[in-house]
Each structure stands twice: as structure tokens, then as C-alpha cells.
């Protein structure tokens, strides 16, 4: 016998607010110990010799978070079946049975039993639990839909009951079910307990797939037919981690009537059996239940966190990030989270559900999500980042963003997602998309290798000059429009080749890159200091920016391929930053021909400071420190100045420019890319504060740039005014390089 555990991960656990939220339900939270209820459920199933890796049946909205949590726990999964909306347990059981049939068809030599169980129960006696699964499985092989009944020890009014028959089934330790009973009043519950014939309904079921589907057809043909159709329309694929994903069609799945497995089948079938047992089961349905199963001190208190309890007894107190002192409490619950606190007598915990409903009616964020600083919020942010990148942005830019007819990638799309086909193709944009698609391949995105070839082949076929350098701007068909040699472009060509070589292993790219290195060092090196803007030079002034991207490219070769030549180039640019580009502790943008500070008669914009570049340089300097061991303490000043003066106090967004003294420019604007550089730097810090700051900015970036009328289509706005109005009517492909840089640490 092989048991296919199918874990039901639905429900929001509203009686366990504020730890449990609508989109962060109790099964994903750590209520007892360090692991979530779901993780504990999966791990105890994996310890049973007859269980296959579990199947998780969950809501689509947190399938990514569940997968990430399971990967972090090292838990093996057979599949994740994502429901577009909840249709109750009868539909879930039908889908689980159809999946079980599919498994059985692929392994006809083994008898398979589907085990349907909730994700959010606590079990203290694991060997007893394993024994119960085996007994329930044997009854299922005998043609029964087997339940597991828990021997009651109190007259509990919050559970359904099962009245078992007196005689066991022949050859089994299970009993026929005489009657399923809904939650009783207290007097009736006491009578059930005294009789000894009633068991708590644990909500666990074991059945052979064909048995359940046959009984479902007999007793609720509508659910049976619609569930079969929904499963036939489901899409089977693989996640980026290689886990099977079953995506159910929202239209056909929604057509399944909502009903529980008890009402649809179990109360009518003559094949219901129950195995009576006791293995320390608790459904963790309230804070009093959570208190009951946790280890209490000598005063009956469960104190989780930095807590001082004086003259306090029989209470549950949990703190998130602060000291909590309680005095004189008895039979109380105090639950602190990052953004909410609950204080409630233990005998009123069933009323917590009303608090959640009230908050939901107000559409208060605390009803639905955890606030910044919480583990749940971090996991949700990571799941949303992964979903946007893999489900929205990469599919869009590897399809719509690619010029399939003429080659290469489009420069931009309009804000309805249509490619701007007549725009010229800049070499730097082709290179940046090579960088993006190379990262996508290394992150496991399917189809990324073909996507890499589109801009890479266009770049090498049309962009490369006879002398080893690269042109500046190409026509949509690849004809040369602007033959200017630009150092900024060459930095991105060099960096894209480093990542494409790493992603594909194509050694020809290494040879091309060596030619670009030669070109940069012989043709673009300034006779005195640093590197030219290019030739012919577009302006009499020189900039820090091309040097920054040369540093980035050099470190890519240094990090990925241990290239000593590029390590030396990186060191030279860092030294140049210290001696010339950083003036009085602050990075400047423009310089004269000898990289000296420009005079006061230059324009205000030329003398301004770009906070986004301060964050970008600080990130790169710290990365260089990590790779080389050479410290650049000026990076702290760059970050501190940008934090203090570079954030618009009205919008919370990083501004494009500020004056050297930190004062605002007239009508300050905010482009997308500085926000991403802020996020990337804060994530690099590795601190809790840095993570909180990064995720808060990620929320702002999503709301202001990535979301259009409530949806996130996979492209973005580019620049906003000081009052949040969009200023650019196109979405530039070049921003993807920046966005990926800040999302990659999260995904």
C-alpha cells in the first residue's frame, strides 16, 4: 500500500488573528515552536514509511509562499494543486481523487490510497498518528471511505462528532459509521462523552480514488461531473524549483457547487468507516487551544518572547519585537505582532473571529496581511516578487518585448503593452536584456536560453565594429544609425558577455569579451585618468557614470570567472573614486577634462547630486570590498546622504536629483531605477532594519510603478512627478536590468 497524503491548506484561521490573516493563514504561521503548522504536518507525514511525498492543495494566492516555505524546510513535495478560489472540501476531495487516479495509472503495480487531511492540526504522538494512518489505509483498501475519530476527553462543543457502530468491520480495527453529528450544545456533548460511542471528527479521510469518485457520483452527481471537468481542464507544469504545479481553470472550477465532504458524501454513503484512536490531536482552532498544547511554566503561563510576568497565571503572552510586562493577569491571551495586538480573556477567544470580520469589512490591511518586520510579511514579499518576475515580467519581455521578425529586443513598449516598433535599438539596451535573460536562465526560468540568443545574436551581428568595439545606436533592422563609440555602452556589453558566458557556457563569448576588454583599455582609456566618454566625445564634461558601470562589468568577470585582468581594472576604478570622483565625501556626476570638480558657472543640473547613483556606487563599493577585501569607508557617507536628503518626504520615493547641500530641486521627479538601487543596497546590508526598509520601498515601487489600475502587467512606468503623476508615456526595456538587480536577492 502507498498513501498519497493530500494536505488541505485552505482557510484563513480568523480565530487566531492577529497571527493568522486572510492571506497569511494559520497553517503558514509558527504557533507552536519554530516551524509552521503546515511544515510540521508535512514533516510528520514524510516520516511514515508508506506515505509518498505530500500533495498540497491550496489557494492560488499563496501557492508560491507555500512552495518557498517547503523548500526552506527541505520538505519533499509531489505536487502543488492551486485552487483559484475556495469551493469547500467536497471539491477538494474530488480533485485529490482524480490526482490519485493519475498517479495510480502511472504505477499500476501498486495499490494507492488518498489521505485527505488538514494542514493546521497539532499532533503530539507521532507513532500513534502513523499507526492510525496505516489502519485507515487498510480500511480504504477494503473499499471503505475511512475516517479517523479521536477519543474525546472533554465535552467539546466546537467539534463535529461521529457515532460509531458497536461491532468492528470484519478483518479490520475500524468500525462502520452509524451517524455523523454536527457540533452539539454542551449538554448533548456531555451525553456523547458519557456514552463512549462518540468520537471527535478529525477531518481526516482515507480512500481509494475510484471508491470516492463512485460514491460522489451516487450522492452528488453535480459536484462529481463539474469536478471531473475542472480537473480535465487543469494545466500541469513545473515550478522553477521543479515541483509539479496543477493550475485549475478559474471558470470551470468556480462552477463546482460549494459543499463539504461530510454533507456531500459521508452522511449518505454506506461505505463510511471510522478508526478510533488518540494521538494528542488538537485542531488549534483558537488561542485557548494554542495555550493548551504549548509547554507552560509552573504558573500555567506560556510566555513566548521578551516577557516579564508578575502575579500572572494560566495566560498566553507572545511578543514580536518588544518587551512586554504583564501584572495580575489570569486566564488571559496577549498576542503582539508587527502591526497589531490582541488582548482577550481566554473564555472569549471565540469572539476573535468577529474582530477579523470587522477589520475585513473596513478593508483594513491588518485583516489581510502582516505588516513590515514579520516573517509572514517577508515571505509574502518574496512570493509576490517571484510571482511578478516569473509569471508577469519575464513572460512579457521574452515574448512581446522581443522583435521576432527583425531580431533583438524592442527599446520600449507603450503603457498598454504594445511594442514601439519604430524606435531605434540602442546597443546598451540589447546588452542589458542579455544580462536579464542570462540571470533568468540561472534562476531556472524555462525558455530563457532562447531569449538570451535574441538580443545577443542581434548585438554581435549588427552592433560589433570591425575594430572590436561596438556601435551606439542601430535601426530596428540592425542598420547603423549612430557610430559613436560610447564607454557606457561598452561597459554593458562587457558585463552582458560575462553573464551570458556563465549562463550558457559558450566559450566564443569569452573570446568576444577579451576583444572588448582590449578595446576599452586601448581605445577608451584617458591619457591621464580613467576613461573617455567615448569618441567623438558627446560633451566637454566627463562623468562618473561610465566608470561606475565599468566597475560593475569588471566585478562580474572578477566574481563569475576569476578574471585577474578585470580584478585589476576594478581596483583602478575604486581608487579613482577615492581620489577624484568622490569630492568632500560625496559623489559628483560631472567633471572637467582632468576629472576635477566643475566650476560654479555650470548648470544646476550638472552640479546636482543623484541619490540613485549614491546608492548604486555604495552597493558596488561594498561588493568590491567583499570580493577584494579592500575597504571603501566613503560608501557609508553616500548612503547616509541619500537617506537624509534623497527621499521625497511627500511620496517616500527616491528623487532623481538634489542639490549638493541636500536642498530640493524645483519640481523634483522620481524615476523607477533609483528605487531599485535603494532596495538592492538595503538588502545587501543583511540587517533586519535593511530588510524592512527594502521591503517597504518594494511596496512603494510596486504601487507607484508596476501596478496599473489594480493589475501588474509585467512592464512599468518610468518617471513620476513630485505629486505622483506619470511623466513618460512609455515603458523602457532598459529598466528591467535595475528591477532584476533588486528582486534577485528575494527570489
pLDDT in tens, 591-642: 999 999 998 889 999 999 999 999 999 999 999 999 999 999 999 999 999 9
pLDDT band at 373 (very low <50, low <70, confident <90, very high): low
Q: Tell me which of 169-183, 218-232, 371-385, 726-740 is least confident.
A: 371-385
Q: What is the pLDDT of residue 316?
A: 97
CATH class in words for 2-285:
alpha beta
DSSP string, 94-108: HHHHHHHHHHHHH-T
| Dihedral sign of CA atoms 7, 10, 13, 18 in order | positive
Q: What is the pLDDT of residues 108-150, one digit of tens each?
A: 778 999 999 999 899 999 999 999 999 999 999 999 999 999 9
Rounded (10°) angle between helices 209-219 and 221-232: 130
pLDDT at 391 over 70: yes
Q: What is the pLDDT of residue 303?
A: 95
CATH number of 375-743: 1.50.10.10
Tens-place pLDDT, residues 559-593: 999 999 999 999 999 999 999 999 999 999 999 99
Please check whether the two domains, 2-285 and 375-743, share a CATH topology.
no
Among 213, 149, 153, CA closest to 176: 149
CA–CA separation, 10 and 58 (whole Å): 5
Interatomic CA distance for residues 580 and 591, integer angstroms: 9
- Give per-residue burial for 470-507: e unless 16+ CB within 10 Å, then b: bbbbbebebeeeeeebbbbbbbbbbbbbbbbbbbbebe
Q: What percent of the chain has pLDDT over 70?
A: 99
| Extents of the domains making up the chain | 2-285, 291-368, 375-743
Cross-strand bridge partners of residue 245: 80, 237
> Residue 116: is it exposed, middle or buried by C-beta count within 10 angstroms (0-12/13-18/19+)?
buried
Q: Cα–Cα–Cα angle for 696, 698, 704, nearest 5°?
A: 105
Q: For residue 212, what is its C-alpha cell? A: 470516492
pLDDT band per the 50, 70, 90 thresholds, residue 105: confident
Q: What is the largest CA-CA distance in the chain?
A: 100
The answer to whether the beta carbons of residues 666 and 673 sit under 8 Å apart is: no
When pLDDT is cut at 50, 70 and 90, the band that residue 698 belongs to is very high
The predicted pLDDT at position 376 comes to 63
DSSP symbols for 278-344: -SSEE---SHHHHHHHSPP-TTS-EEESSEEEES-BS-EEE-SSS-EEEES-BSEEEEE-SS-EEEE
Sheet holding 341-345, edge to edge: 302-304, 316-318, 332-336, 341-345
Q: Tell me which residue has cell 577624484.
A: 580
E runs forming strands in 408-497: 412-414, 425-426, 473-474, 480-482, 485-486
Task: Check residue 157 and give its pLDDT.
Answer: 86
CB 11 within 8 A of CB 120: yes
CB 304 within 8 A of CB 318: yes
CB-based contact 610:665 (threshold 8 Å): no
Coil, strand or helix: which one is 242?
coil
Q: Judge whether 733 and 668 are in contact, CB under 8 Å.
A: no
Query: pLDDT tens digit string along 484-520?
Result: 999 999 999 999 999 999 999 999 999 999 999 999 9
pLDDT for residue 618 = 98
Q: For the segment 19-42, what is each residue's pLDDT rounded down to a tens digit?
A: 998 877 888 888 877 788 999 999
Say yes or no to pLDDT of 158 above 90: no
Neighbours of 350 (CB within 10 A): 15
Q: What is the tens place of the pLDDT at every residue in 667-692? A: 999 999 999 999 999 999 988 789 88
d(CA 686, CA 140): 51
Q: CA torsion sign, 573 to 577 to 580 to 581?
A: positive
Q: How far, in Å, CA of 552 to CA of 547, rounded?
A: 9
pTM of the model: 0.65
pLDDT reported for residue 688: 77
Torsion of CA 456, 461, 463, 469, to 10 degrees: 100
With a cut of 90, say whether residue 747 has pLDDT above it: no
**Vertex 329 angle, CA 324 and 331, to 5°:** 115
* pLDDT score of 375: 63
For residues 302-323, give the mean pLDDT: 94
Q: How many residues does the chain have?
A: 747
Tell how strand 307-310 and strand 316-318 pair up.
unpaired
Average pLDDT over every residue of 729-736? 98
611-628 and 545-561 helices, crossing angle to 10°:
30
Asked whether the predicted pLDDT for residue 173 surpasses 70, the reply is: yes
- The grid coordinates listed for 185 are 450544545
3-state secondary structure of 79: strand
Question: What pLDDT score does 220 carry?
Answer: 96
Q: How far is CA 453 from CA 153, 181, 430, 456, 500, in A?
A: 67, 64, 11, 5, 9
Give yes or no for a contact between 208 and 114, defined as CB atoms under 8 angstroms apart.
yes
pLDDT of residue 374: 64
Amino acid at each position: 500500500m502507498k498513501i498519497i497524503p493530500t494536505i488541505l491548506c485552505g482557510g484563513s484561521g480568523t480565530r487566531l488573528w492577529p497571527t493568522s490573516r486572510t492571506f497569511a493563514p494559520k497553517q503558514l504561521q509558527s504557533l507552536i515552536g519554530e516551524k509552521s503548522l503546515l511544515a510540521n504536518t508535512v514533516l510528520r507525514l514524510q516520516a511514515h514509511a508508506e506515505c509518498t511525498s505530500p500533495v498540497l492543495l491550496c489557494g492560488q494566492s499563496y501557492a508560491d509562499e507555500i512552495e518557498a516555505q517547503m523548500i526552506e524546510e527541505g520538505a519533499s513535495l509531489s505536487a502543488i494543486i492551486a485552487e483559484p478560489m475556495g469551493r469547500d472540501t467536497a471539491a477538494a476531495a474530488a480533485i485529490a481523487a482524480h490526482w490519485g487516479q493519475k498517479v495510480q495509472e502511472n504505477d499500476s503495480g501498486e495499490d494507492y490510497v488518498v489521505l485527505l487531511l488538514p494542514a493546521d492540526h497539532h499532533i503530539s504522538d507521532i507513532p500513534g498518528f502513523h499507526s492510525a494512518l496505516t489502519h485507515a489505509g487498510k480500511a480504504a483498501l477494503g473499499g471503505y471511505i475511512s475516517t479517523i475519530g479521536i477519543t474525546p476527553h472533554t465535552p467539546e462543543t466546537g467539534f463535529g462528532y461521529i457515532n460509531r457502530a458497536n461491532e468492528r468491520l470484519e478483518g479490520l480495527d475500524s468500525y462502520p459509521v452509524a451517524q455523523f453529528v454536527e457540533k452539539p450544545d454542551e449538554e448533548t456533548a456531555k451525553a456523547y462523552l458519557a456514552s463512549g460511542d462518540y468520537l471527535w471528527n478529525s477531518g481526516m479521510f482515507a480512500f481509494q480514488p475510484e471508491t470516492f469518485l463512485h460514491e460522489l457520483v451516487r450522492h452528488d452527481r453535480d459536484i462529481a461531473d463539474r469536478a471531473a471537468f475542472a480537473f480535465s481542464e487543469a494545466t500541469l507544469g513545473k515550478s522553477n524549483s521543479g515541483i509539479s504545479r496543477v493550475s485549475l481553470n478559474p471558470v470551470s472550477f468556480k462552477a463546482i457547487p460549494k459543499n463539504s465532504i461530510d454533507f456531500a458524501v459521508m452522511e449518505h454513503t454506506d461505505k463510511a468507516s471510522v478508526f478510533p484512536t488518540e494521538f494528542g490531536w488538537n485542531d488549534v482552532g483558537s488561542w485557548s487551544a494554542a495555550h493548551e498544547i504549548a509547554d507552560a511554566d509552573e504558573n500555567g503561563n506560556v510566555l513566548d518572547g521578551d516577557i516579564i510576568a508578575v502575579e500572572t497565571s494560566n495566560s498566553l503572552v507572545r511578543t514580536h519585537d518588544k518587551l512586554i510586562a504583564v501584572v495580575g493577569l489570569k486566564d488571559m491571551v496577549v498576542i503582539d505582532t508587527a502591526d497589531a495586538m490582541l488582548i482577550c480573556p481566554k473564555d472569549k477567544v471565540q469572539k476573535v473571529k468577529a474582530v477579523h470580520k470587522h477589520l475585513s469589512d473596513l478593508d483594513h490591511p491588518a485583516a489581510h496581511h502582516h505588516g513590515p518586520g514579520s516573517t509572514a510579511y517577508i515571505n509574502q514579499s518574496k512570493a509576490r516578487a517571484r510571482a511578478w518576475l516569473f509569471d508577469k515580467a519575464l513572460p512579457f519581455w521574452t515574448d512581446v518585448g522581443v522583435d521576432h521578425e527583425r531580431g533583438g529586443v524592442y527599446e520600449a513598449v507603450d503603457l498598454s503593452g504594445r511594442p514601439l516598433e519604430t524606435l531605434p535599438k540602442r546597443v546598451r539596451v540589447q546588452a542589458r536584456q542579455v544580462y536579464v535573460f542570462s540571470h533568468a536562465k540561472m534562476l531556472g526560468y524555462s525558455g530563457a536560453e532562447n531569449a538570451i540568443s535574441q538580443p545577443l545574436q542581434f548585438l554581435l551581428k549588427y552592433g560589433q565594429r570591425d575594430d572590436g568595439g561596438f556601435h551606439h545606436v542601430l535601426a530596428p533592422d540592425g542598420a547603423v544609425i549612430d557610430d559613436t563609440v560610447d564607454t557606457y555602452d561598452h561597459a554593458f556589453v562587457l558585463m552582458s558577455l560575462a553573464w551570458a558566458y556563465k549562463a550558457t557556457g559558450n566559450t566564443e563569448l569569452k573570446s568576444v569579451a577579451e576583444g572588448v576588454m582590449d578595446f576599452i583599455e586601448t581605445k577608451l582609456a584617458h591619457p591621464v585618468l580613467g576613461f573617455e566618454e567615448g569618441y567623438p566625445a558627446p560633451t566637454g564634461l566627463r562623468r562618473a557614470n561610465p566608470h561606475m558601470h565599468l566597475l560593475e562589468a569588471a566585478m562580474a568577470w572578477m566574481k563569475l570567472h576569476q578574471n585577474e585582468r578585470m580584478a585589476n581594472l576594478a581596483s583602478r576604478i575604486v581608487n579613482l573614486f577615492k581620489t577624484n570622483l568622490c569630492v568632500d565625501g560625496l559623489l559628483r556626476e560631472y567633471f572637467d577634462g582632468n576629472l576635477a570638480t566643475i566650476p560654479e558657472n555650470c548648470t544646476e543640473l550638472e552640479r546636482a547630486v543623484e541619490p540613485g547613483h549614491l546608492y548604486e556606487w555604495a552597493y558596488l563599493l561594498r561588493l568590491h570590498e567583499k570580493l577584494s577585501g579592500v575597504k571603501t569607508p566613503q560608501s557609508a557617507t553616500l548612503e547616509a546622504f541619500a537617506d537624509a536628503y534623497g527621499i521625497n518626504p511627500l511620496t517616500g520615493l527616491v528623487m532623481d536629483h538634489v542639490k549638493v547641500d541636500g536642498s530640493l530641486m524645483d519640481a523634483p521627479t522620481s524615476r523607477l531605477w533609483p528605487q531599485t538601487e535603494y532596495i538592492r543596497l538595503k538588502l545587501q546590508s543583511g540587517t533586519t532594519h535593511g530588510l524592512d526598509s527594502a521591503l517597504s520601498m518594494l511596496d512603494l515601487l510596486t504601487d507607484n510603478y508596476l501596478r496599473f489600475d489594480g493589475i501588474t502587467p509585467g512592464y512599468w512606468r518610468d518617471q513620476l512627478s513630485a505629486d505622483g503623476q506619470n511623466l513618460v508615456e512609455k515603458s523602457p526595456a532598459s529598466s528591467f536590468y535595475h528591477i532584476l538587480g533588486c528582486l534577485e536577492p528575494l527570489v
